[in-house]
Structure 1
Amino acid sequence: MAYENIIFETEGDVAVIKFNRPKALNAINIDVVKDIQKALDEVESNPSVRVLILTGEGDKAFVAGADISMMVNLAPLQLREFSSALHELGFRMEGLPIPIIACVNGFALGGGTEIAMASDFIYASEDAKFGQPEISLGVIPGFGGTQRLPRLVGKGMAKELCMTGALISAQEAKEIGLVNKVFPADKLWEETMKTAKLLAS
């Protein structure tokens, strides 16, 4: 199946979904969500796939949040539908019968951090950045961040990140329990695939 907003491929028993909007720092819009859901259909219908990796195309961003240029043009009902679609995606990811590794190769902001948190493991490059900066727009994390973040880092740290909108480095994210492992950028994919192959074996 052809996709416009993601790249979907399989390497043996490992499936890979790449967010493919590098000019927009892989920001999420409703079309991205639809493409991911279709790719997950492919994953679930292929019994040979035993692990899924999510990553971003390019070297700047995993997912730099929701596509604000799209959101400002949505009516209130459309915004609600977009939020619901993101929640459904997160729940589906958590319920997927195979492990998901988020291979964070750059900015993971807002919805990007939330997508990573819906995965089972988060591996990050040394130059990756994480954060829930929605407060700067006068809104709260809308894709499960207020639920998943406290479970991973504790209530106090989650409040600080959400209320200040602060960005943290990959190493800081590892220290607070958000990220599993941090690697040099040129080793991230190799190490992620190594773990994926181990999980699939």
Structure 2
Amino acid sequence: MASITGLAKDLVPYPGPVPLRRRPTTARRPSEKRIAPTVSSPDHGLSELAQIEVNLETDTSTLWAFMRPQGRPCQNPEMLADFSRLQDGIERGFGNGSLDLNYFVFGSRFPGVFSLGGDLSLFASKIRAGDEAALVGYGNACVDVLHRNMNALNLPIITIGLVQGDALGGGFEGLLSFDVIIAEKGTKFGFPEILFGLFPGMGAYSFLARRLGTIRAQEMILDGRTYTAEEMHELGIVHVLAERGQGEAAVRAYIAGNHRRRNGQQAIYRAAREVNRISLEELRKIVSVWAAAAMNLTNRDLSIMERLVLAQDRLRGRAQAAQARTVTARGPAGSTR
């Protein structure tokens, strides 16, 4: 895998899926059964994540993880490295019996945004430098994480993508790797890559073609438009619609209502992966197609990409200003989430 500065040293090449692991049957001391509620566990390395907040709710055996991007709300190399370490930590905890887990929920703390997708600033700089290998390395890092997630780490758990803000480009791609998508009404989904002459190359076509058929998948990728959560729900991409501001409550309601059938449901999702198998090799081949296409972008295409980066920077600035106003209003005794 080609390396990117700050990425290769943190990511270990993903070898591919392994057989489903069952829950350990060895006896455990009561104090070892679960991580303390709503506290990240240093034992699994989860407290060391710089851009992902992790909490465990022991009453439902649910691990909640929220992106807290440093900079633009996109999938920067450090964010990818954090997600890979998070997956490693879950596997370690499950493997040694110290992590009792039924659900993994993934969302974002960035106001109004789930994820705006790939690191466009990185893309533009590597394309201008003619560094196709770096693009392949970035893309492979993305699909390695995505492939592990779409297989639920080969664990008997259910993965849930929680959408409380817009999911565009690679952000939308990442959501498609979850078993269940719960989205607040009015949130937006889409693939804007065609606007600057590219396509989403980290799984979108593979997932959508299997869910919607190749013709509808191509239409969605090529039209460049945004879709509402309501439209995604009609297509069957979003499974549960939540009212604005009620996303987390909707996840908890879903988990509570799913208690009796959880075991059968996670087995059905596993069976579905066998029927609609997506190999890591397929994903990596598409990454290579994407990287080669990126090297053919014109200066005009790159200028559009860089203008989008500036727009993302302005969005980040507004979010930071709003957060600062909130902290000031709460006073020194207040606290932020």
SS in 2 for 1:49: coil
Q: Which residue of 1 aligns with 2:80?
A: 33
Ranked by relative contact order (alpha carbons within 8 Å, sequence separation 6 or more), the top structure is 1
How many angstroms does 1:41 deviate by? 1.4
Which residues in structure 2 correspond to 1:131-150 (within 5 Å)? 131-150=190-209
Preserved CA contact (<8 Å) 1:22 1:61? no
TM-score, normalization: structure 1?
0.92
2:111 corresponds to 1:59? yes
Distance in 2, matches of 1:185 and 1:86, equals: 29
Distance in 2, matches of 1:136 and 1:85, equals: 24
2:55 corresponds to 1:9? yes
Code of the aligned partner of 1:82: Y
How many angstroms does 1:22 deviate by? 7.4
2:239 corresponds to 1:180? yes
Q: Deviations over 1:23-55 (max 9, x none)?
A: 52x210111111001111122222312210010
Q: Which residue of 1 aligns with 2:172?
A: 113
Q: Deviations over 1:51-94 (max 9, x none)?
A: 10010113311111112112222322111000001111111001
Code of the aligned partner of 1:32: M
Preserved CA contact (<8 Å) 2:164 2:245? no
Distance in 1, matches of 2:50 and 2:84, equals: 13
Distance in 2, matches of 1:152 and 1:41, equals: 28
SS in 1 for 2:241: strand
2:182 corresponds to 1:123? yes
Distance in 2, matches of 1:21 and 1:43, equals: 21
Change (3 A) 1:136 1:127: same
Choose 14-23 or 155-164, whichever is displaced more.
14-23
Which residues in structure 2 correspond to 1:31-110 (within 5 Å)? 31-46=78-93, 47-74=99-126, 75-96=131-152, 97=155, 98-110=157-169
Q: Deviations over 1:118-141 (max 9, x none)?
A: 000011010211111111121111
Code of the aligned partner of 1:187: Q
Distance in 2, matches of 1:44 and 1:50, equals: 13
Q: Deviations over 1:159-179 (max 9, x none)?
A: 111111111000001111111
How many angstroms does 1:5 deviate by? 1.6
- Unpaired stretches in structure 1, ≥5 consecutive residues: none
Q: 1:18 aligns with which of 66, 78, 84?
A: 66
Preserved CA contact (<8 Å) 1:15 1:43? no
Distance in 2, matches of 1:150 and 1:122, equals: 17
Code of the aligned partner of 1:55: G
TM-score, normalization: structure 2?
0.56
Largest Rg, 1 or 2: 2
- Unpaired stretches in structure 2, ≥5 consecutive residues: 1-46, 94-98, 264-337
* RMSD over equivalenced CA pairs, Å: 1.7
Following TM superposition, the consecutive aligned residue runs of length 4 or more in structure 1 with deviations greater than 6 angstroms are none
SS in 2 for 1:186: coil
Residue-pair matches, total: 200
Code of the aligned partner of 1:85: A
Choose 4-13 or 83-92, whichever is displaced more.
4-13
How many angstroms does 1:196 deviate by? 3.3
Change (3 A) 1:23 1:33: closer
